[in-house]
Amino acid sequence: MVYDAIYMPLNEVQKDVDEWARQFKSPYWKPHEILARLMEETGELAREVNHMHGPKKKKSTEETKKLSDEIGDIIFTLCCLANSHNINLDEAWKMVMDKCYGRDNERFDKK
């Protein structure tokens, strides 16, 4: 993978959030409030994971749909936190990929 500095997918996602948030008088909540929301959303994701893969194991298209929705909500919340701190998520992503192909790349057994 060659990560192209010009191609910036997460910036697009952040802009979607910002465009929506800028309609309001107070576009973003305070950092701790966004964090609490993140906690709430990850809690809902956890419930779905337990529904699908936990004691009762209900695997269905509908369950996967709920999981997908919860992941979407978490990404939204992360974009709010990033936008309210002027964080560029494509730079964050570049760091993640650098870590993957650098520091962490020998941690697991390759094929």
Residues in contact with its own copies by CB under 8 A are 1, 3, 7, 9-10, 12-13, 16, 19-20, 23-26, 29-33, 35-47, 49-50, 52-55, 64, 67-69, 71-76, 78, 81-82, 85-89, 91-93, 95-97, 100-101, 105, 108-111
DSSP 56: T
Cα 32 to the chain's mean position, in Å? 17
Place of tokens 């950092």: 31
Cα–Cα distance, 85 to 31 (Å, whole number): 9
Least gap, CB of 67 to its own copies (angstroms): 6
Spatial CB neighbours of 81, under 8 Å, sequence gap ≥ 6: 31, 34, 35, 38, 87
How many alpha carbons lie under 13 Å from residue 46 in its C-beta half-sphere?
Answer: 6
Least gap, CB of 36 to its own copies (angstroms): 4
Cβ-based nearer residue to its own copies, 58 or 105: 105
Least gap, CB of 58 to its own copies (angstroms): 13
Cβ-based nearer residue to its own copies, 58 or 85: 85
